[in-house]
């Protein structure tokens, strides 16, 4: 069994979370998260869309939940839009936006919290280019099938 999640976090962090919740992680082949996919694609850059991105990004993350790892990506996080080549959401004027978590909302306690997918959808509606990296896009299911050793598409 493979865990498929729209979490912005890396797969290893998701497996650690499953273990902390009492799951026997040896029963899973692994996890594919939208954050893991985004990390892999930013690292490899073998996809045309990701290959065209620069190295300077605005990194939108939910600090209250801890930092998202950018280790090994060679990215330079900038604070000024003028210095950015893309937005990594965990823009303006033709900046590509990679949504490492396409969920629109999440439930936290009794509240609904806005998630990066809301920003990405609005950005796309306004004419920006968005690369969706989690459910329901087929890329996450293809990666899960590869992890499980199943011919994908």
Judge whether 41 and 140 are in contact, CB under 8 Å. Answer: no
pLDDT tens-digit series, residues 64-76:
666 677 889 999 9
Domain definitions of the chain by residue range: 2-147
Element (H, E) at 37: helix 34-44
Establish how many alpha carbons lie within 13 A of residue 6's alpha carbon, considering only the half-sphere containing its beta carbon.
17
Tokens 């899960």 correspond to what residue? 144
Predicted confidence (pLDDT) at residue 114 exceeds the cutoff of 90: no
Give me the pLDDT at residue 91, please: 36
Q: What's the whole-number average pLDDT of the chain?
A: 87
User: Which CATH number does the domain 2-147 belong to among 3.40.390, 3.40.50, 1.10.357, 3.40.30?
Assistant: 3.40.50
pLDDT tens-digit series, residues 6-51:
888 889 999 999 999 999 999 999 999 988 999 999 999 999 999 9
pLDDT tens-digit series, residues 60-113:
876 666 667 788 999 999 999 899 999 888 734 567 788 888 888 988 888 898
The model's pTM: 0.69
Judge whether 128 and 97 are in contact, CB under 8 Å. Answer: yes
């Amino acid at each position: 069994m493979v865990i498929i999640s729209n979490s912005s976090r890396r797969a290893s962090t998701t497996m650690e979370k499953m273990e902390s919740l009492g799951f026997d992680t040896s029963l899973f082949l692994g996890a594919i998260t939208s954050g893991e996919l985004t990390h892999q694609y930013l690292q490899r850059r073998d996809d045309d869309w990701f290959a065209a991105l620069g190295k300077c990004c605005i990194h939108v993350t939910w600090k209250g939940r801890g930092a998202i790892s950018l280790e090994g990506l060679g990215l330079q996080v900038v604070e000024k839009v003028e210095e950015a080549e893309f937005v990594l959401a965990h823009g303006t004027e033709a900046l590509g936006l990679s949504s490492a978590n396409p969920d629109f909302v999440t439930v936290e306690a009794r509240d609904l919290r806005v998630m990066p997918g809301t920003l990405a959808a609005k950005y796309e509606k306004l004419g920006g280019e968005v690369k969706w990296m989690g459910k329901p896009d087929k890329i996450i299911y293809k990666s899960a099938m590869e992890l499980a050793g199943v011919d994908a598409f």
